[in-house]
Amino acid sequence: MLTHLSEFQAKVYDVAGDDFRSSVLQSIQSWIQAVPLQFVHALLVYLDSVSYEITSSGLKSPLALKPSSCCPGIDTPSESLVRWKLRLEYFAYETLQDLRIAKLFEIIVDYPESSPAIEDLKLCLEYTGQHSKLVESFISALRYRLLTAGASTNDILHQYVSTIKALRTIDPAGVFLEAVGEPIRDYLRGRRDTIKCIVTMLTDGTSGNSSASGNLGDSLLEELNRDEEVQENFGIDDDFNTDDRQAWIN
């Protein structure tokens, strides 16, 4: 069984790869329908044919009453097959989710070109509910790879803008961003040139690349203002207190 799960996981890795500019969820779902689910169906049919047990004629489970569209090519999927389909899909979503979370720093560096990978991750998290994995892993990556003396303040600000945009796609309410953005903001407050860099970005005057600098400054200001508006619109106040946010993340 472990061997089969490892092969299943390896297939998800192979389909997903490190191409963050294309969505892969649909391809993974199609492969599940075409290969492992068909194998499970054939196995269940065989086991049923050699079984001497007589199936009860009582009420069917709601799972057994699902439309055949859940398993293309199979007229009347059994309850067992539907359960296997749900298990396989969950394992696939969890595997892709973990793969994308592990590479989230690179994905955000490449944002918005990597937005398909962000959309896939959003769907995976909605399916698994494992939000805390993203928060813990990404904060760790930020502290190890970005919030260091070797990173320039301009680079940190640029990554902060991309982080705001990407995480808002995953979580419009801003719960992720509040947790992930805190260590970035705290670190920037401790840098002497933070205000200078922001002002320079807003006034188009750095490194002979005024257009790029101005765009980043405008984007930073826009995103920070929008972040405040989003939190107000989603009622991140007494109706959604700290305990509620922590429970949602966990």
Looking at the fold, whether 77 and 164 belong to one and the same domain comes out as: no
Strand ranges (DSSP E) for the chain?
none
Res. 75 pLDDT band, cuts 50 70 90: low
Assess whether the previous peptide bond of 172 is cis (omega < 30° from 0): no
Structural domain for 95, as ranges: 17-54+64-129
Looking at the fold, whether 101 and 124 belong to one and the same domain comes out as: yes
Looking at the fold, whether 146 and 238 belong to one and the same domain comes out as: yes
- Kindly report, residue by residue over 158-189, the tens digit of the pLDDT: 999 899 999 999 998 888 888 998 999 999 99
Give the dihedral sign, CA 5/11/16/19: positive
DSSP state of 151: S
- Kindly report, residue by residue over 119-169, the tens digit of the pLDDT: 999 999 999 999 999 999 999 999 999 999 999 999 999 999 899 999 999
How many structural domains does the chain have?
2
Looking at the fold, whether 170 and 223 belong to one and the same domain comes out as: yes
Looking at the fold, whether 134 and 249 belong to one and the same domain comes out as: yes
Q: What pTM, to 2 d.p., does this model score?
A: 0.75
* CA proximity to 161, closest of 181, 145, 179: 181
Residue position matching structure tokens 């959003």 = 122
Looking at the fold, whether 84 and 148 belong to one and the same domain comes out as: no
Is residue 207, in this structure, part of any structural domain at all? yes
208: left (phi over 0), alpha (psi -120 to 50) or beta: left
CA distances from 242 to 25, 237, 246 (A): 33, 9, 6
- Kindly report, residue by residue over 27-57, the tens digit of the pLDDT: 999 999 888 888 888 888 777 776 544 444 4
Alpha-carbon torsion, ordered 198, 201, 206, 208, to 10 deg: 170
Looking at the fold, whether 106 and 198 belong to one and the same domain comes out as: no
Is residue 4, in this structure, part of any structural domain at all? no
- Kindly report, residue by residue over 86-103, the tens digit of the pLDDT: 999 999 999 999 999 999
Looking at the fold, whether 173 and 74 belong to one and the same domain comes out as: no
* Identity of the amino acid at 66: K
Which of 129, 148, 181 is the endpoint of a domain?
A: 129
Is residue 192, in this structure, part of any structural domain at all? yes
Query: How many Å separate Cα 132 from the centre of its chain?
Result: 11
Higher pLDDT, 199 or 56: 199
Looking at the fold, whether 137 and 248 belong to one and the same domain comes out as: yes
Q: 52-61, 65-74, 186-195 — which one is most confidently predicted on average?
A: 186-195
